[in-house]
Chains A and B, each alone.
Chain A
Amino acid sequence: MVDWGSGSSTVVCGAPNVHAGMTSVLAPPGSVIAGGHRITEQTIRGRRSHGMLVSAQELGLEESSEGIIELDGIEPGGDVRSPLGLDDEIIDLDVQPNRPDCLGVIGVAREVAALTGSELRLPRIDLNEAGRTAADMASVKIEDPHGCPRYIARVISDVTIGPSPAWLATALRSVGSRSINNIVDITNFVMLEFGHPIHAFDYDRLAEHRIVVRRARAGEVMVTLDDVERTLTSEHLLICDGKNPVALAGVMGGADSEVSEATRNILLECAWFDPVVVRRGAWKLGVRTEASQRFEHGVDAHAMEMIAARASSLMAQLAGGKVAPGFVDAGTDGGAAPAITLDVRSVASMLGEDVGRDEIVAALTSFGFGVADGPDGKLTVDVPPHRADVTVEADLIEEVLRSRGYEDVPPEVPFHSIDVPPDAGVGARNRVLDAMVRLGFYEVMTTSFMSESASGRLGGSGVQGEPIVLSNPVNKEMPFMRTAIMPSLLDVVRRNRNVGEKDLRIVELGKVFWKDGDGLRERWALAGALSGLAGRHSWGETPRSIDFFDGKGILWALAEALDIDTPDTACYDGRLLDAGASAGFSVRGEGLGFLGMLSKKALAAWELPDPVFVFEIDLDRLCGFIPTAVEFKELPRYPKARRDVALVIGERSAAGDVLAAVEGLGEPLLVDAQVFDIYVGKQLPPGKKSLGFGLTYMSRERTLTDEEVDEAHSRIVSHLTREFDAALR
């Protein structure tokens, strides 16, 4: 029976240390313990258990626990956070890449102090240096001053390796770091304080007590402290002792010089490594560590002495070490950053006229900048070393804005007139999309990537060149940029088909990409797919499946909607298409694209059961045909006259040829020619078909007489009968 202050209940517990009268921690039903496990009421060994008495492990406080937590000096029902040391407030900060100084607590405290006008208090450092000097005990040689501009080493002797005190272990745990031993914990803690990674070597395992900083030789091998053997290149920077590599600079220590329980003396490294060298080195090995990330963003070379001293003082305090006097200092801190000249007027012109000199000086001073009067009434601003991100005037203006507050700048909407040049083809593509939507199409947007299998299936159709290959595709199965939209459109058809959407008219306006020699090319394409019924299913009508001419009609209607000439049709041999039901289209001799029925093989490849018609058109070219202006023509004032003719001609003759012949005759009174009937059947001789044409005549000057119309009509008819060896029906 557990008494939880305001009530009591039965809890089944099997811990070895559970005993009557003890005070422990209860997780009631509904609470979540470490590992995300949710406590529920359940029956254990025949007894109903209302919750769980938990161990330190189950609260995520220890790696492993023998029994449940036992507490003293707390009443049942009391808050366990304070006795367990969990009453800390934790603030998650999103630090932008330009502010590495805030990757440590002190940097954040400095900001808070500046913004709140309070005083920044730095940690106390007590060194009590004694014995041989550091310079006497160790040496540092930098062979690559670009990769490592400065290296400081301190020596701490006679340390006792052991567990960290509770405050230190708790502090590390609260930021998600594991406590290892007092020395390693101190290096991590100081890194979190200052944002500057440091490293502790076992002094006695460094050959000749010497540190050499150099590039790795290609193929050189070292084992890092995670026990991984790593093969290096000349891009890697190494920390070596008198003989061998002992650490991957700025990334990770080596296994050989790692601090162990047997360690007695420490060589403490506090170094400044080049951000790019660390970044490339870590990237080449595919590792990112707390240390490498901080070095990548840049550390403050001017704070290194303080950081090394702080860590040494903690090692003396918490591990009983003796700090050797002084430190070995190799390289340079790079000197002070050049001062920036700030024109007070540029601040005012960007932030508003009311930002005065005094406000600017106060703001910059509060952030630690040194401000002095410069020439021509300008300000000369010294940048504190931890603010390497500030290099130009605009950076200083931002500091003033941060101090003032973004909310405090009054919004304004001035009007400046600008000549707007013609749009980038957007208007024409919008017209095409609008027309397709009017024709009943849904616009879709599909991936720009293409799979190897789609590319293979596509072969020649729609492809102008080799596909562009991605060196690091998101999905390894989609390594190409699409050379055509059609494949992904067919994926959309299948996905919709799978959820019962069979009647589809979809269109995409998107880019396609290809390689042209060495050049990478892209252009806009218009692609569509149709399947299912030609019209929406309705009562009293037999629904007809979509066919080639539905597709062709849509392209014709599109041309009409865009005021483009009716396209010409030609044979088309596309890889995925049924050659008998596909055609290429052109306008004024320029190929536009194709329309066709998917071949049986292609249907099978996409697992599509019903016929699908697809088209893909060069959208840039299509848009080029859209007239930029339309000219008014007077509406006809005189009536039209229509005459029909039915020609009995060879079965294989093409209607298009007949229409072309009609047009080719150039009859001035003819204004329109249409196919209105096709007949093949018993009433005709074998091998023949009948094509009915409706011809419309009109004059813009006068009403035509019957005789005039008949005369023009018979000229055309006799030309056709001759040309196509046709009989009249």
Chain B
Amino acid sequence: MLDRLKELGREATAALQSAATLMELESVRVKYLGRKSELNQVSRGLKDLESDERRSVGRAVNELKNELGALLEQSKERLESAGEPSAGLDLTLPGRMPWVGGKHPLTRTYERLESIFRGLGFEVALGPDVEDDFHNFDALNIPADHPARDGWDTIYIDDDSLLRTHMSPVQIRVMESRKPPIRIIAPGRVYRNESADASHGSEFYQLEGLYVDRDVRFGELKGVLIRFMRELFGENVTLRFRAGFFPFTEPSTEVDVKCLICQGSGCSVCSGTGWVELLGAGMVDPRVFEAVGYDPGEFSGYAFGLGVDRICMMMTGTDDIRLFLENDLRFLRQI
């Protein structure tokens, strides 16, 4: 009798495990655990057995019932979660993809810069691309016929109108319209009459910053730029502040970052110098304050400017600035 039970157990286990549908499972249940099943009959016939045999068979029957019951639950769960299998899907076929768009790499770079400066308390200010001589030059202590103007290869519309050569005119416009404290960044497209090559374009993007308040120190300029660079390039970035010249700041500084590509040992990106010039900055020249009607004795401030294209190139390893305006989709998808 015990042998028979063992055999029954093996059969039932196999049937429960191989049931492929819930319906099949139900018929397996009826066959092996149902009212008319052999197991049930054995169970009912126990009372007719000798007491010794009754005890051993009874225990075996109970164990088997429990075991099969648990197995039935497992199989049920398995089949319920799988549901009915669909007919013949080749799951390895590619999915149907919707169109995926993307922002221009310069936009994404700019958004990164903007979010860092917003976190440092700067707001965004904008201005016209078509500027006048006063806002682009005169107010910035770059008088007509001064060699300093040679630094900007200007595209003119007429004697007074030109395409802005830097974002500084926005600083002037903001200062003309408001009183300090002012803390702005001015991002935008600038224009130079330069023939394009891998590292120069005639249209490119700059971001300038300006902070004007009482008693602004040079150390604050350094502090803000160091914070900015660390957020952008990571804590390990190394900066170098060099003396520089800009007509609209005094003192002026040029900020180099240790080349991120070669870590300072010299490569093509840094022209072998180990450093890449990334920023120009300085304390706002009092003559600029005079041009916008601020009292230089009362206010001081700092300004800085950087090339958005250059930062994007540095961060992505893009080696030709012209790619940004060519808009080859293979480039836009990649960067």
Contact = CB atoms under 8 A, between A and B. Distances in A.
A336 B215 CA distance: 32
A409 B218 contact: yes
Given A280-B145, A349-B215, A349-B217, 8 more contacts: A395-B250, A402-B251, A439-B99, A444-B327, A470-B156, A481-B163, A520-B130, A538-B96
Contact of A433 (B103, B106, B181): B103
Contact of A447 (B99, B151, B325): B325
Interface in A412-436: 412-418, 420-421, 423-426, 433, 436
A426 to B, nearest CB: 5
A275 interface: yes
Nearest to A390: B250
B85 interface: no
A471 B163 CA distance: 11
Contacts of A445: 104, 106-107, 324-325, 327
B155 A448 contact: no
B245 A98 contact: yes
A435 to B, nearest CB: 10
Interface stretch (B5-13, B23-31, B71-79, B190-198): B190-198
Nearest to B282: A398
Interface in A543-579: none
Interface stretch (A308-316, A493-501, A584-592): A493-501
B232 interface: no
Contact of B253 (A293, A406, A446, A473): A406
A437 B102 contact: yes
Contact of B251 (A280, A394, A437, A492): A394
Interface string A514-540: 000000101000000000000110110
Interface in B171-201: 181-183, 189, 191, 193-195
B329 interface: yes
A539 B93 contact: yes
Contacts of A439: 99, 101
Contact of B126 (A352, A406, A424, A505): A424
Given A406-B243, A413-B224, A448-B203, A443 B100 contact: no
Contact of A444 (B104, B163, B226, B296): B104
A416 B250 contact: no
16 contacts: A275-B146, A393-B286, A406-B253, A412-B219, A412-B223, A416-B121, A416-B181, A420-B121, A426-B124, A443-B107, A470-B163, A473-B155, A474-B195, A475-B202, A501-B328, A511-B189
B215 A440 contact: no
Given A409-B222, A442-B333, A471-B156, A418 B217 contact: no
A426 B126 CA distance: 9
A689 interface: no
Given A446-B325, A506-B327, A418 B121 contact: yes
A397 B250 contact: yes
A297 interface: yes
A425 B156 contact: no
Contacts of A468: 130, 157
B291 interface: no
Given A352-B217, A415-B121, A438 B155 contact: no
Interface in B63-109: 93-94, 96-104, 106-107
B331 to A, nearest CB: 10
A401 B121 contact: no
A99 interface: yes
Nearest to A413: B223
B242 to A, nearest CB: 6
B251 A397 contact: yes
Interface of B is mostly: mixed
Q: How many A residues are at the interface, by size bracket?
A: 35 or more
B181 A418 contact: yes
Contact of A440 (B101, B163, B189, B330): B101
B300 interface: yes
Interface in A36-65: none
A407 B241 contact: yes
Interface of A: 96-99, 275-276, 279-280, 293, 296-297, 349-352, 392-395, 397-398, 401-402, 406-407, 409-418, 420-421, 423-426, 433, 436-449, 468-475, 481, 492, 495-496, 499, 501, 504-507, 511, 513, 520, 522, 535-536, 538-539, 541
Contact of A442 (B101, B129, B222, B285): B101
B285 A98 contact: no
A401 B101 contact: no
B48 to A, nearest CB: 65
Contacts of B101: 436-443, 505, 507
A281 B146 CA distance: 13
Contacts of A417: 121
Contacts of A412: 217, 219-220, 222-223
Given A398-B252, A471-B158, A474-B155, A350 B326 contact: no
A302 to B, nearest CB: 21
A372 to B, nearest CB: 22
A442 B219 contact: no
A406 B145 CA distance: 31
B283 A394 contact: yes
B138 interface: no
A398 B217 contact: no
Q: Which of B97, B216, B245, B327 has the most CB of A within 10 A?
A: B327
A350 B283 contact: yes
Contacts of A496: 327-329
A448 B157 CA distance: 14
A96 B244 contact: yes
Nearest to A437: B101
A350 B104 contact: no
B126 A425 contact: yes
Given A350-B218, A538-B96, A418 B329 contact: no
B227 interface: yes
B244 A443 contact: no
Interface string B243-285: 1110100111100000000000000000000000000000101
Contacts of A392: 250, 286-287
B281 to A, nearest CB: 10
A536 B123 CA distance: 40
Contacts of A297: 147
B237 interface: no
Interface in B287-335: 287, 296, 300, 324-330, 332-333
Interface string B107-136: 100000000000011011110111000000
A512 to B, nearest CB: 10
B102 A423 contact: no
Contacts of A446: 325, 327
B328 A495 contact: yes
A442 B161 CA distance: 33
Contacts of B327: 444-446, 492, 495-496, 506
Contacts of B50: none
B222 A275 contact: no
A448 B129 contact: yes
A394 B243 CA distance: 14
A499 B328 contact: yes
Contacts of A441: 99, 101
Given A350-B217, A351-B217, A415-B121, A442 B250 contact: no
Contacts of B242: 406
A279 B143 CA distance: 13
Q: Which of A280, A407, A443 has the most CB of B within 10 A?
A: A443
Contacts of A535: 98-99
Interface string B142-160: 0001111011000111100
Given A96-B245, A505-B99, A472 B155 contact: yes
